[in-house]
Structure 1
């Protein structure tokens, strides 16, 4: 049980770090429009329509890689128990759902985010969630 808890905690941390690093790289490549205060929720909701498609895809990629890395870490630390990766994937998706709720995103983005999270969780489970025979 301790390995499962440790796997979940470390998996969430790894997932958040990977997501942050990849999002940061995306924001570096595709910076927000000049003069936008990224700490102001009102400005964030209006700027979403001005952000290029590539920047939004970079965020989806960051969320996918974050769930993949986090769920994989959780599974491996927990002794290849798939429940750790599933819990990590659910927690990381909850964070992304909260982000989409706080900052309005396009409909295609909100429909794609759960699909990418599920694909990443499935890949992590197939790779590291089951003991190999």
Structure 2
């Protein structure tokens, strides 16, 4: 049980770090408009309408890679227990949903985010997880 918990914690840490790193690259490549207050929810709604689709795609890539790396790490640390990867993927997906609720995203992005995160979780599960009886 301890190894399972450590796997989830390690997976979350790796997943968040990967997401942060890839999103940081995206912010460098596609910076938000000058003078925008990114802590204001109304300003964030405006930013989402004017940033290019490539900037949004970088977020999708970040979420995919973060969940893939996090769930894979969790499975490996937990002794290839699929449950650790699934819990990690579910928690990281919950963070993505919270982000999509907090900051309005276009419909195509929401659909793509669900597909990308589920695909990442599935790949990690198949590659590194084994169901234990």
- TM-score, scaled relative to structure 1: 0.96
Alpha-carbon offset, residue 39 of structure 1: 1.4
> Who is 2:113 aligned against?
113
Which structure 1 residue ranges, 5 or more long, are not aligned? Answer: none
| Cα separation, 2, equivalents of 1:82 and 1:36 | 42
State how many pairs are aligned.
131
Matches within 5 A, 1:20-31: 20-31=20-31
Match of 1:99 in 2: 99
Matched residues in 2 for 1:68 and 1:81: separation? 15
Is residue 42 of structure 1 aligned with residue 32 of structure 2?
no
Match of 1:69 in 2: 69
| TM-score under structure 2 length normalisation | 0.96
The CA distance in 1 between the partners of 2:11 and 2:41, in whole Å, is 29
Structure 1 runs of 4+ with >6 Å offset: none
2:8 matched to which residue of 1? 8
* Structure 2 residues not aligned, in runs of 5+: none
